[in-house]
Amino acid sequence: MSLTCQVQVILNNISKEKADTVKKALEPDNVNFPEGLSLYVEKIDNRLVFNFECKENMKKLIGTIDEVLEHIQIALKVIE
């Protein structure tokens, strides 16, 4: 049985400048993702949307989301 999990994390009311900075800060992390795991980031109006998808290891998905959220928090602190 194959299980696919999709998780969407949304940052609301974020300025274009902050959204662009966060996206750029995360770009190096989006390279060489583990097999079966993906992240797509998009800016929609005043929201920054993170779309995670995992086809295998849910623990790996949870760990990746946690790590990305940490990087987002650091990026936002740096630009304030």
The predicted pLDDT at position 31 comes to 66
CA distance 58 to 60: 5
The predicted pLDDT at position 33 comes to 75
The total domain count for the chain is: 1
Surface-to-core class of residue 53, CB atoms within 10 Å of its CB (0-12 exposed, 13-18 middle, 19+ buried): middle
Where residue 10 sits, what CATH number does that domain have?
3.30.310.50
The whole domain housing 52 covers 5-79
pTM: 0.86
What are 44-72's pLDDT values in tens digits?
A: 999 999 999 999 888 889 998 999 999 99
